[in-house]
C-alpha cells in the first residue's frame, strides 16, 4: 500500500488543498509577465496555491523568454 505524502490540509488556514489552476505573475522592473491557467494545488478556503517543481521549471523558462523580448506586458497560458 502506498501512502499519499502530500498534505491535504492548508498550513495557512487549515482548509482543504485540492487540484486546481492559478495565475502566476512576475514583475520584471521594465514590465510584467502573467501566466494564466497554471496547474497548482489550491486551498479551497483561503486560495493559497502551490506549484510543483516541473511546472515551476516551465514558468522559469517563460519568464526568461519574456526578459529576452523585453516586452512591457506579456500574457500567456501554460502549455502542457
Query: How many CB atoms lie under 10 A from the CB of residue 2?
Result: 4
pTM over 0.85: no
How is domain 17-77 classified at the CATH fold level?
Ubiquitin-like (UB roll) (3.10.20)
**How confident is residue 1, by pLDDT bands cut at 50, 70 and 90?**
very low
pLDDT, tens digit, 9 for 90 and up, residues 15-50: 999 999 999 999 998 899 999 999 999 999 999 999
CA distance 66 to 70: 6
Cell numbers given for 54: 516541473
Whole-number Å distance between alpha carbons of 48 and 44? 8
Amino acid at each position: 500500500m502506498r501512502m499519499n505524502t502530500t498534505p491535504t490540509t492548508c498550513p495557512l488556514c487549515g482548509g482543504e488543498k485540492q487540484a486546481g489552476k492559478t495565475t502566476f505573475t512576475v514583475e520584471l522592473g521594465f514590465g510584467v509577465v502573467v501566466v494564466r491557467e497554471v496547474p497548482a494545488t489550491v486551498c479551497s478556503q483561503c486560495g493559497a496555491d502551490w506549484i510543483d517543481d516541473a511546472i515551476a521549471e516551465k514558468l522559469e523558462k517563460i519568464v526568461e523568454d519574456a526578459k529576452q523580448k523585453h516586452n512591457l506586458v506579456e500574457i500567456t497560458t501554460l502549455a502542457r
